[in-house]
Amino acid sequence: MGKLPCILLVDDDPVNNFLNQRLLEGLAVTEQLIVALNGQEAFDMLQHHCQPSPDGACPALILLDVNMPVMNGFEFLQAYQQLPLAQQKAIVIVMLTTSLHPADAARAQQLCVSDFLSKPLTKDKINGVLQKYFNNILTEK
């Protein structure tokens, strides 16, 4: 079974990050897992990692929290839309939240979000995202 080259986890909560890192590492679905503590840090990482360079492992999947200090998930998405179009299309963004308010879901869809999931992240939720968006990558040897 194949692995995603890189997943970017964006959340300001250290407990969520720890649990999500353990889950993703246990599922062995990625070669590299990067963690950002807010949207600004994540955006800076994208600008660095998505360049054609030896350490340029652009995330295939971003797991993005909604409510964070410095730059929240929606502000990150607005900044993300300013990136070159090819780079945007190459990344699947899944928003994670404790609130499934319909207005938030509608706003997320307008801002190029692939999916909107409630916390906590689980094995079933990750497997669902992987099957929906990356089935061809993960079934290759």
The amino acid occupying position 73 is G
Distance CA 74, CA 97 (A): 12
* Mean residue pLDDT across the chain: 85
Q: What is the pLDDT of residues 78-109, one digit of tens each?
A: 998 888 765 667 789 999 888 667 777 677 67
Q: What is the pLDDT of residues 33-55, one digit of tens each?
A: 999 999 999 999 888 777 665 55
Question: How far apart, in Å, are the Cα atoms of 58 and each of 5, 44, 67, 68?
Answer: 8, 12, 23, 22
Q: Residue 2's pLDDT is what?
A: 78
The amino acid occupying position 76 is F
Kindly state the greatest CA–CA separation across the chain.
41
Tokens of 127: 């497997």
Spell 47-73 as b/e; 16+ CB within 10 A means b: eebbeeeeeebbbbbbbbbbebeebbb
Q: Residue 52's pLDDT is what?
A: 61
Nearest-CA neighbor of 11 among 89, 120, 113?
A: 120
